[in-house]
Amino acid sequence: MLVKNFAFLLLVCPLVWATLLKDHSLAADTNSSLQGQVTSVSQLSDVKPTDWAFQSLQTLVERYACIAGYPDATYRGNRALSRYEFAAGLNACMNRISELIATGTNELVNREDLAVLQKLQTEFVTELATIRGRVDVLEARTATLEAQQFSTTTKLNAQIITAVSDSFGNSVGDDRDRSQTYFADRGRLNLESSFTGKDLLRVRLEFGNFLDSNGNSQIASVTGTGMTRLNFDTDSNNDLSIPHIRYYFPVSDSLAFIVGPTGIGYTDITDTVTPATIADDGNGVPSLFGSYSPLFRRGGGGAAVNWKLSDDLMLTLGYLADNPNFPSSNNGLFDGGYNTLAHLVYYGKQGAVGVAYSHGYGPGGRVNLTGGAGSNLAISPFGDNIATSSNIVGTQGYYRFSPHFQIHAWGGYIWANAESSGVSAISNGRGGTDSLSVNNGDHANAWFGAIGASFPDVGGKGNLPGILIGVPPHVSSSDIRKESENAYHIEAFYRWQLNDNISVTPGFWMILNPENNNNNDTQYVGLIRTTFDF
């Protein structure tokens, strides 16, 4: 059957035929009309419609339905065809008649047709041998690929990031620069399976060594602030884990669901509404704060729905629990930390804008309002041991002025409430903490924002220079402690796309008033990131 189907492709898909005819002596006979769709074997050259061979093959095709594709199973047209195209059609008829004989329907094949077929075979023996030789090679290659492929439903894609990085400037609350140049890596191996052609199951294997043995960012540990963190600084000791399992399945053209027991973030269920290259860990903005809005730095396990309200309007609703697979107190799917999201995005011809609302709750010991971005006080305004609820509203969007110039921006406001009472260690903005009393119902507010510009393909196809200026999360009012100054984040990077699989990105950013305190020295971070995508 493969030979038969391949012969048909040769006959009706001339671009495939031209690819096969790499030998100049075979390709020389290809008519210029082969650049378009061939609707009849008679559109080719060398064997004319008046030739006995043409008329004989036409009779065989019409009698035995050798070649599918014509509504009435007949040849049409009045132009000639190449000897090799003719041989392809002849080969299809030979296979068809052989099938009829093999299945016991040989009474349908009369002796006269067999005689004609034998005469045609003798006349075109050279061309048939060439075609069959090429088909045999392709069949062998196909069998090899089928034997060696990973899975019929699963493919592997991976991203390996390596980075040489360092920071400069006295550490927060210190009079010395404790940072050293370091070299670290992160790897993600994604096994992606589709069972219907529209759904997608992703299981991720991950390793890296950007974190210390306590699970803290190494660069943040020595600088004293999370404002210096890299976007991809995860994992420690290069231990292999499965941090992410996600299944996406549509139920209609306008409705799709996403579920996963672990490692599902807001970025896995909705669009960050910045250009795609900006939100990619390995190819976009290299800093943690600069990559996308802190509102979207929520994760866990749960479910979400994407509802396409119209061609240009998308609504996402999601629920993510911190530890959905731990059936103990303050854990589990509904008894523990969680985050819920409602995000409405409007897509225009040259950009998009979204409005998001997130509500969350963090039990004592697991409070993180900003996903690690911003000051320590903004991360846990009542201290980490005080259960905290939060409401965040944010807007984000981008606009492409031209194929080589686009801007993006985002901002948000946080309302936080203490959900328990006690004495808590509250960040003092100088690398230490103070013990302060917190009452159930105490309030704190924070805000953040950024604007950036990027220049796709400037300096070469696939390249991406970019700049960004922003204000990391800042506690502007609080019943416990607020921050009087703003930190400022200023960043520049240049992604140099070496080829489809490798990019190199020099990046640099500076933090004025780290930890939202002007008594701290300015921090400077530089890195060279190399990303391998395959």
Question: What's the distance, Cα to Cα, between the start and end of the chain in Å?
Answer: 34
Tell me whether residue 73 is exposed, middle or buried, using C-beta atoms within 10 angstroms of its C-beta: 0 to 12, 13 to 18, 19 or more: middle
Residues 255-300 have pLDDT tens digits of: 999 999 999 999 999 999 988 666 688 999 999 999 999 999 998 9
Instruction: List beta partners, residue 352.
Output: 347, 398
Which pLDDT score is estimated for 18? 36
Q: CB–CB of 342/300 below 8 Å?
A: no
> What is the arithmetic mean of pLDDT over 181-190?
95
For 36, the 3-state DSSP assignment is: coil
Q: What is the mean pLDDT of the chain?
A: 85
Q: Which of 210, 172, 173, 169 is nearest to 188 (CA)?
A: 210
Predicted confidence (pLDDT) at residue 101 exceeds the cutoff of 60:
yes
Predicted confidence (pLDDT) at residue 390 exceeds the cutoff of 70:
yes
Residues 323-377 have pLDDT tens digits of: 887 787 777 788 889 999 999 999 999 999 999 999 999 999 899 999 999 999 9
Residues 224-260 have pLDDT tens digits of: 999 999 999 988 899 999 999 999 999 999 999 999 9
Per-residue H/E/C for 142-190: HHHHHHHCCCCCEEEEEEEEEEEEEEECCCCCCCCCCCCCEEEEEEEEE
Go through 136-167 and write b for each residue having 16 or more CB atoms within 10 A of its CB, e for each that does not. Answer: eeeeeeeeeeeeeeeeeeeeeeebbbebebeb
Which pLDDT score is estimated for 67? 67
Boundaries of every domain in the chain:
2-148, 157-181+225-232+246-533
Q: What DSSP designation does 462 have? A: T
> What is the arithmetic mean of pLDDT over 50-78?
67
Residues 449-507 have pLDDT tens digits of: 999 999 999 999 999 999 999 999 999 999 999 998 999 999 999 999 999 999 999 99
Q: CB–CB of 486/516 below 8 Å?
A: yes
Tell me whether residue 477 is exposed, middle or buried, using C-beta atoms within 10 angstroms of its C-beta: 0 to 12, 13 to 18, 19 or more: exposed
> What is the arithmetic mean of pLDDT over 117-145?
76
> What is the arithmetic mean of pLDDT over 41-64?
71
Predicted confidence (pLDDT) at residue 533 exceeds the cutoff of 70:
yes
Q: Between 310 and 96, where is the model more confident? A: 310
Residues 439-453 have pLDDT tens digits of: 999 999 999 999 999
Reported as a pLDDT band with limits 50, 70 and 90, residue 88 is confident
The answer to which of 15-19, 144-148, 169-173, 218-222 has the lowest mean pLDDT is: 15-19
Reported as a pLDDT band with limits 50, 70 and 90, residue 28 is very low
Predicted confidence (pLDDT) at residue 400 exceeds the cutoff of 90:
yes
Sequential DSSP letters for 370-399:
STT-S-HHHH-TT-TTS-EEEEEEEEEEEE
Q: Between 110 and 526, where is the model more confident? A: 526
Q: How many CB atoms lie within 10 A of CB 479?
A: 15
Half-sphere exposure of 2 (CA within 13 A, CB side): 11
Predicted confidence (pLDDT) at residue 6 exceeds the cutoff of 80:
no
Instruction: List beta partners, residue 264.
Output: 300
Which pLDDT score is estimated for 124? 84
Instruction: List beta partners, residue 518.
Output: none
Predicted confidence (pLDDT) at residue 525 exceeds the cutoff of 60:
yes
Q: Between 13 and 347, where is the model more confident? A: 347
CATH fold of 157-181+225-232+246-533 reads Porin (2.40.160)
